[in-house]
Structure 1
Amino acid sequence: MTRRRDFLRAGAVAVGGALAGCSLLESGTQPSESVGTEPVATGFTAPLGMETVGEGQFLIADQTGQVFLVEADGQGAEPVLDLRDRMVTLNQGYDERGLLGIAVGPNFAERRRLFVRYSAPLRPGMPDGYSHTFVLSSFAVDEELQVDRSSERIVLEIAEPQSNHNAGSITFGPDGYLYVGVGDGGGGNDVGRGHTSDWYDRNDGGNGQDVTENLLGSILRIDVREGAGGNGRAYGIPDDNPLVGREGLNEHYAWGFRNPWRFSFTDGRLFVADVGQNRFEEVSIVERGGNYGWNVREGAHCFSTADPGSPPDSCPTETDDGTPLQGPIVEYAHQGDGVSGISVIGGYYYTGGIGPLTDRYVFGDYQSEGTIFTASEPDGDGLWNLSRVALQTASGDPPGPNLLAFGRDAEGRLYVLTTGSGGPEGNSGAVHRLVGV
């Protein structure tokens, strides 16, 4: 295959208008609105994923490699699936590897398979010096919601050069296809070992701009229905994926991402949160074939691999073939008044009855400090309006200080998944439901 990247147009222009603006903070530096929390399940280490599998029944993925069943009468003490012996050994102090995502299909009652994303040791034949293997696989689930470990079917494996930026979110879209988030390969700035960029080569764009050599820095869309695979693959390629019939790897749905950490669908719109490098966090509504700018842009701002903390005044706004780089709907800084943080946690667009959240995209930051964020759509174009919402304890213990993920049940109610630990250790992880106050 001929090598192809979205090489960035050399005639750079300044990023202006909405792309350079700051999100508006509706409520100042202190939250003016609150929602309540009530515990649903506790005793996890680092709960990162939640899937509804029945009325009042949830599967919770713990980063340590275990999946637990939570029911109305309590949490099962034993995991329904334990992958610890198939994963890399995690560093307790801090680690971005592990069991990073779970998903069940829209027809789960008939085709009872659980899809999981985890970090395995490096497979034979993968590049020397790489960190580990990205594994996407599925397991059969019985009527009692127990998972058959012997039924694992490997769907996709990717060699990961570094231990971080592993993304991990997987979800089925309204079209029935599986959407898979893949980070840029880790390290920093999308350069170095395992990245297509040479150091400081601004026109190379890193793995996030490479659609021919690897699947990193992208949202993939694949068909995982039984019998859909072919040509040596355990999955099929939707005919309308953007690179089908063009140069590039057909699995790509959209690209130009650093570390997409949690995404979700609402009314056909795909909301993707992408963790930033040094200065900005972002959320985008992602469309088929869209290029979301990393590593040329961080959020709505220009980015420089040579000086990540001080971006240039101007940078490309389109690729060499004229494809525009898409801007986010949400951006917030790592420092400053109002909404700020260090690592965005994607959530859901909420249409329920809790006033401070209704008709807003609900999300947060790893360092939540007892708050979550909302974003409301502006009347015109541009970045969405941001607010901070305080979490008040409606019953039981409060959530942990570190936000890891959100959940949504079949009734549209929202949940926060948190931990009190800075790494995959201890048992401070918990799941809380958001309620009105």
Structure 2
Amino acid sequence: MIKVKVRLRPIVSKINLPTVLKTTILPGDSIESLFIVTQVGEIFYIRNGVIRTFFDIRPRILKLGLSSGGYDERGLLGLAFHPKFYYNGLFYLHYSVAGTQGPGAFPGAPQESFKPNPCDARTLNLKWTNREIQYDHIDTVEEYILHPNGQPQKRRTLLHIRRPFFNHNGVNSLNFSPETGNLILTTGDGGSGYDPFNLSQDDMEIAGKIIEIDVGKHTFIDNPPVVTRFNELPVPIQETLTVIAKGVRNIPGISFQRFYNQYIKYAGNVGQDLVESIFSFIHYKPIPVTRLIQASFMRSEPEHEGFINFGWRGWEGAFPTSTITGCSANPALNEKTIAYYDEAVKTSARRLPPLISYFHEDRRTDKFRATALTGVQPYMGNEIPALTGNVVFTDLARGKESRLPVRGALAYTRVRTDCKLNDFSVIETDYNFGSQSAYYVSLGTNLNQTKLYLGVYGSMKVVDNNQGTVFEIVP
């Protein structure tokens, strides 16, 4: 693949951790503004080089970083503008609600303590019980309207979702489909590690899914119940939902690329210990939630032909999910043990193979060791010809071969419609971050995908304030 080098042009700096970067045209305006969402609850927009506050919901956001040493995956995670936002002023937010902190689904145990043991069946068949009291927090998806005076006002709540752990809530989790005009919510598997309750493969669980919401249907239920499963939702809300995909571990949103008269969909799945993956698909057959519930009630299986399954937790990208054990005789080596063999077999024929996998351990000189996928965006501009029509992605931090200070990774892969596993190439950047760490935390684009924006943070901790910079990626 062609070696590509780009420049990072700073747009704004000294902001909090940016979770979403996207553009829209404000009602009454004539040019696009860049919107920046921060994890702590701010939404800014930049127009003609001037940064302004669009909305500040920090009081509504859960206190972040208190129980995890400053690191957190909760907060303000999603922003989407209605396709007719210019005319109707509607936009949508996904965030973790203040005052909802619980003890977690494993009370008293650290989130990352779970590890499946193929020799102990109990670890392979855990159930999430006492959900009303054993949970970590509550996420909400809400609809707002921007009034002519520039003031946003909440109109209704679409979903209240109880989450078992603090991590794997998705990020850049709200986007509108240009095909259906519906709102798409991407949810992670609920967290901990290795999906201890196998929520991502359970058709009734909201966790670990890509969900389409018909916001044109008004349910007149403005304060829906807090739920974890589809069958706990009131029927009018069930009727607004379809499920596009399951088997999701954690996901930095979904993006769309126009391809002749159809769209390629891209979704990244953050890996466990081995591999990061990007999936792509054109044709799919979503299943209405009402049909999933009916099949569950009848104890039958719904028709899965055309339904997307990323394979988690049995599969981590292109590999059966494995636990890693160090080799006592040689610390440089380790042993990978298939964690969920039966589940890997069960989902092997149904799962969608990834477009690309890249690895936590990779000694090739032209690659890098991965940490976590943080963004996937098609680039349709002409200013960087080598990237035109290709798919750009970001990884949080180059892995173990990197010395401090930390640097994120920017890379690209080509479009393939034959579903064969793809290669990728690292994109070189010229920016000098000096002694400051630079975690690549978000990737965004403008409306016609001719510009790319990169969110960088100087720390892994959300409590380390004002260490963020947003760049435009330019030739």
Q: Shared fold (TM-score greater than 0.5)?
A: yes
3-state DSSP of counterpart to 2:430: strand
Match for 1:362 among 359, 368, 392? 392
Moved over 2 A (4+): 121-126, 142-148, 227-234, 247-251, 304-309, 311-320, 368-371, 377-381, 396-400
* 1:263–1:271 contact (8 Å) kept in structure 2: yes
Distance 1:379 1:136 in 2: 33
2:423 is equivalent to residue 385 of structure 1: yes
2:276 is equivalent to residue 265 of structure 1: no
* 2:213–2:241 contact (8 Å) kept in structure 1: no
- Give the total of aligned pairs: 375
3-state DSSP of counterpart to 1:80: strand
Question: Match of 2:474?
Answer: 435
Tell me whether 350-359 or 248-257 shows the greater mean CA deviation: 248-257
Distance 1:117 1:398, change over 3 A: farther
Mapping of residues 147-226 of structure 1, within 5 Å: 147-148=152-153, 151-168=154-171, 169-174=173-178, 175-191=180-196, 195=197, 206-212=198-204, 214-225=205-216
* 1:318–1:324 contact (8 Å) kept in structure 2: no
Once the two structures are TM-superposed, the CA of residue 75 in structure 1 deviates from its matched residue by 0.8
Question: Match of 2:289?
Answer: none
Question: Match of 2:90?
Answer: 113
Question: Match of 1:8?
Answer: none
2:120 is equivalent to residue 129 of structure 1: no
* 2:375–2:444 contact (8 Å) kept in structure 1: no
* 1:290–1:325 contact (8 Å) kept in structure 2: yes
Distance 2:71 2:200 in 1: 25
Amino acid of the residue matched to residue 325 of structure 1? Answer: R
Question: Match of 1:53?
Answer: 24
Distance 1:422 1:171 in 2: 25
Question: Match of 1:277?
Answer: 272
* 1:59–1:70 contact (8 Å) kept in structure 2: yes
3-state DSSP of counterpart to 1:110: helix
3-state DSSP of counterpart to 1:109: helix
The superposition leaves residues 2-40 of structure 1 with CA deviations (integer Å, 9 ceiling, x where unpaired) of: xxxxxxxxxxxxxxxxxxxxxxxx47xxxx420111112
* 1:37–1:398 contact (8 Å) kept in structure 2: no
TM-score scaled by length of structure 1: 0.78
Once the two structures are TM-superposed, the CA of residue 278 in structure 1 deviates from its matched residue by 0.7
2:411 is equivalent to residue 373 of structure 1: yes
2:370 is equivalent to residue 341 of structure 1: yes
Distance 1:59 1:326 in 2: 33
Match for 1:91 among 65, 76, 84? 65
Once the two structures are TM-superposed, the CA of residue 393 in structure 1 deviates from its matched residue by 3.6
Once the two structures are TM-superposed, the CA of residue 306 in structure 1 deviates from its matched residue by 9.4
Distance 1:398 1:380 in 2: 43
Distance 1:184 1:249, change over 3 A: farther
* 2:252–2:376 contact (8 Å) kept in structure 1: no
Once the two structures are TM-superposed, the CA of residue 127 in structure 1 deviates from its matched residue by 1.6
* 1:122–1:159 contact (8 Å) kept in structure 2: no
Greater RCO (CA < 8 Å, at least 6 residues apart): 1
Identity %: 26
3-state DSSP of counterpart to 2:135: coil
Once the two structures are TM-superposed, the CA of residue 378 in structure 1 deviates from its matched residue by 5.1
* 1:166–1:259 contact (8 Å) kept in structure 2: yes
* 1:38–1:432 contact (8 Å) kept in structure 2: yes
* 2:395–2:408 contact (8 Å) kept in structure 1: no
Question: Match of 2:55?
Answer: 81
Distance 1:126 1:297 in 2: 26
Question: Match of 1:39?
Answer: 10
Match for 1:332 among 358, 378, 399? 358
Distance 1:249 1:71 in 2: 35
Any unmatched runs of 5+ in structure 1? Answer: 1-25, 196-205, 235-243
Q: Which has more helix, going by share of residues? A: 2
Distance 2:8 2:58 in 1: 31
Question: Match of 2:145?
Answer: 140
* 1:339–1:387 contact (8 Å) kept in structure 2: no
After superposition, the CA RMSD in angstroms is 3.2
Distance 1:399 1:136, change over 3 A: farther
Amino acid of the residue matched to residue 426 of structure 1? Answer: N
2:381 is equivalent to residue 403 of structure 1: no
Match for 1:67 among 36, 43, 48? 43
Question: Match of 1:293?
Answer: 311
Mapping of residues 20-35 of structure 1, within 5 Å: 26=1, 32-35=3-6
Distance 1:399 1:350 in 2: 28
Distance 2:359 2:317 in 1: 9
Distance 2:239 2:200 in 1: 13
* 2:95–2:140 contact (8 Å) kept in structure 1: yes
Distance 1:379 1:71, change over 3 A: closer
3-state DSSP of counterpart to 2:23: strand
3-state DSSP of counterpart to 1:41: strand
Distance 2:379 2:254 in 1: 14
Once the two structures are TM-superposed, the CA of residue 57 in structure 1 deviates from its matched residue by 1.1
